[in-house]
Amino acid sequence: MTTVRQLLEKKRNDVWSVAPETSVYDAIALMADKSVGALLVMEGSELVGIVSERDYARKVILKGRSSKQTPVRDIMTTKVLYVTPTHSLEECMAIMTEKRIRHLPVLEEGRLLGVFSSGDVIKATISEQEFMIEQLENYIKGR
Q: Summarize pLDDT for 16-58 with one digit per residue, the tens.
A: 999 999 999 999 999 999 999 999 999 999 999 999 999 999 9
CATH class of the domain at 4-141: alpha beta
pTM: 0.83
* Per-domain residue ranges of the chain: 4-141
Mean pLDDT value across residues 74-81? 95
CA distance 40 to 59: 17
Q: Summarize pLDDT for 87-108 with one digit per residue, the tens.
A: 998 999 999 999 999 999 999 9
**Residue closest to 5 by CA, chosen among 61, 78, 89:** 89
Beta strands 38-43; 17-18: pairing state: parallel
